[in-house]
Structure 1
Amino acid sequence: MAELAVEVAYAGPEGQGVVALIVPAGTSAWKAVTMALPRLPVGLVPDPARLGIFAKKVAPERPLEAGDRVEIYRPLILDPMEARRRRAKRGA
C-alpha cells in the first residue's frame, strides 16, 4: 500500500507544533490528527469540525494527499462582527 508524507500543525495558547507523519494512502484528516496528538502540545483537545488543509476548511473524513498540512483550528473567542463593531466604536 502506498504511503504519504503529511504534516499536522497547531498553534495556540497551549503551545505550537508541526508533526510530520508518514500515513497510508486513504488516511483521513481526523485520523492524521489523532496519530499526531501525542506529539502536539499537552492539553490540546482538537475538534473534528475545526480542521483545514492549507487554510481551507475540510471535513474530518477528507482523505489526505501527499504533502497536505492538516491544520487544527481553535474556537473563536469573539464573533468577528462583534470585534468589528468594537473597533469601529473605538475609532480604530
Structure 2
Amino acid sequence: MADAERITVELAYAPAPRTVESMHAELAAGSTVRDALALWPQPEVQAWLAGGGTDESLQCGVWGRKASLDHVLRAQDRVELYRMLVVDPKVARRERFASQGARTVGLFARRRAGAKPGY
C-alpha cells in the first residue's frame, strides 16, 4: 500500500538554449508543483520559488500546459520550468524571411524547368 502514498514525477528545466536538465523525484501523494520544484538544486529556481513564483523570468507548467504552483500533481507528471523568450517566434520568422528573400523559401525555392512563377 506504500506505492499509493508516493508518486513519481519528472522535473525538467532548460537553463540555457539547447540545454535541458531533468531529474525524477518521488513525492507524497497530493504534492503540488511548489513541493516538486523545492527539490530542484539550482539557485535561480530556488530564488524564483522564494519570491512566490511571481517573477516573470520563469514560468512553470505540467506537460506543456501552464500550471500554478498550487497545482496538485499526479503520478508520472512532468513538471517543466520555462524561460521567457528572447525573441517572439513570429518576429524571428519574419526577419529570416525578409533577409533570405521570397525566392529562396517555401514554394519558390525549387521550380521545375519551364514552370510558371509560383508553381
The normalised TM-score by structure 1 is 0.75
Whether 2:62 is the aligned partner of 1:53: answer yes
- The number of residues matched between the two structures is 88
> 1:83 corresponds to which residue?
92
Instruction: Determine which of 7, 17, 20 is the counterpart of 1:16.
Output: 20
Where does the alignment leave 5 or more consecutive residues of structure 1 unmatched?
none
> 2:30 corresponds to which residue?
26
After TM superposition, the runs of 4+ consecutive aligned structure 1 residues lying more than 6 A away are none
C-alpha separation between the residues in 2 aligned to 1:71 and 1:26?
18
> Based on CA coordinates, which of the two structures has the bigger radius of gyration?
2
- SS of 1:4 mapped into structure 2: strand
Whether 2:5 is the aligned partner of 1:2: answer yes
- Using a 3 Å threshold, how does the CA distance of structure 1 residues 43 and 77 change in structure 2: closer, same or farther? farther
- SS of 1:50 mapped into structure 2: strand
Counterpart code for 1:68: D
Of Structure 1 and Structure 2, the greater helix share is in 2
Q: How far 1:13 sits from its partner (Å)? A: 2.0
Q: % of aligned pairs identical? A: 31
Q: Deviations over 1:14-69 (max 9, x none)?
A: 9532111111112111221122x21xxx4543574611222222222110000001
Kindly report the root-mean-square deviation, in angstroms, between the aligned alpha carbons of the 2 structures. Answer: 2.5
C-alpha separation between the residues in 2 aligned to 1:16 and 1:44?
15
- SS of 1:27 mapped into structure 2: coil
Instruction: Determine which of 48, 52, 74 is the counterpart of 2:83.
Output: 74
- SS of 2:21 mapped into structure 1: strand
C-alpha separation between the residues in 2 aligned to 1:16 and 1:88?
29
Bigger relative CO (Cα 8 Å, ≥ 6 apart): 1
